[in-house]
Structure 1
Amino acid sequence: MKDLAQALAQFQAQRHSASRDSKGNYGTYTSLAAALAAAQAGTAFGLSHTQTMKPVGGDEPAHVLITTLLHTSGDQLTSEILLPSKAEGRGNYMQALGSALTYARRYAILAIYGLASEDDDGQITAQLPVSPAKREAAKAVIIVTPPQSTQDKVPSATEALVVFLDADRKDRLCAELKASPAKEAILDSFKAAFNIQAERMGPSQIQLPAHADFLEAQLASSY
């Protein structure tokens, strides 16, 4: 699996986490959609995946989820997860199976790509103390209007080459966002400009130079 290993290393050099975009009984978590969005960046390196199921024998019906990581060279890596045959409080078998399948799919994707859910402490939406003067100044900030079309700024995942944001530049940008009293307004503008659906913003959504260009312009306008 030489080609797959090289492609996976390149992918992991750029991406190590998936955003926690959903809320549950025990806090935030990474949804299946967020896990798929994080994995989609792997297509730039020739990576893709499939998830299929197969029944297994026994006294009670059970299924195995098979996740296969593929490379355009033909290399592949497979993992399997046994889904529970029953779920307490779920009278409908197919409903219980669907719930277990969704849960297993997202963890299998994160595992096979080597991704983790973002640490809440690392979220750029973390609340920091803001002085009353800065809070008042933020109300007067004029936010740069988002571009009418982001098609030219955001490369398609199917393009042959995706240029990712330099790590040092990304770290500096996240630090500036944390300290900015206009952070929430800037992030709302960013989400609208790049059609980001996640409820909470994190570093994983800032991936491309176009993202950094836009956010830096917003920050400059807030000074």
Structure 2
Amino acid sequence: MGRHADLLPPRLARALRKRFDLPNAPPREALAAFGLEKFPQPVLLRGSLCLPGGKLLDGRPYVGVPPEWLETLAVAGRPEYFLVIENLASFNRHVREVEDSSIVLYSGGFPALATLKAIRRMDALLPADVPFFHWGDIDADGVRILQHIARSIDRPLRPHLMGVDAWSDAAVDELCRHLADPAFVPMEQEELDPQSPLAGTPAQWQ
């Protein structure tokens, strides 16, 4: 699709943005979310993985997983948590600066279909008590991305470093209220230093 993604007919571009509730998404992101890519990008992951054929891979600082491997991808061991990171700079910092047994995935903004399949794969593979987090920009699109991913999995997706208590069941609603406040100032996640989502973990998750 390449550079032609930017030449989408306006009506189609609007339809794709409306479908995914991302009014500001570039045409290329909208196409990728719908799976319309000639060559899907590899999914960037940090963690201990089991590749097709049973080969173990310590993916540090991270590895690029071809979309064709996603259906048979497995996890070696039990990760402390699973974290989706929207921004590439924040992803690169987290995988290098936060040392733990987590699995960390780069969403690339609004997740492409292959990326969403990887997230669903992790949801299906990992034990129910492994918490899932999303670290995105503190703005309207960041919340929409979080909500889209949350609707795609079967466990809670908690906002990490997004200005609310990640462990509150009302965290996303609170974040939406902040965004509706005229005095609210959006913040890009690059402005924050990475840290483990398990810092200050409630007792039931320890």
**TM-score class, shorter:** under 0.3
Instruction: Select the structure of larger CA radius of gyration.
Output: 1
Using structure 1 for the length normalisation, give the TM-score.
0.25
Using structure 2 for the length normalisation, give the TM-score.
0.27
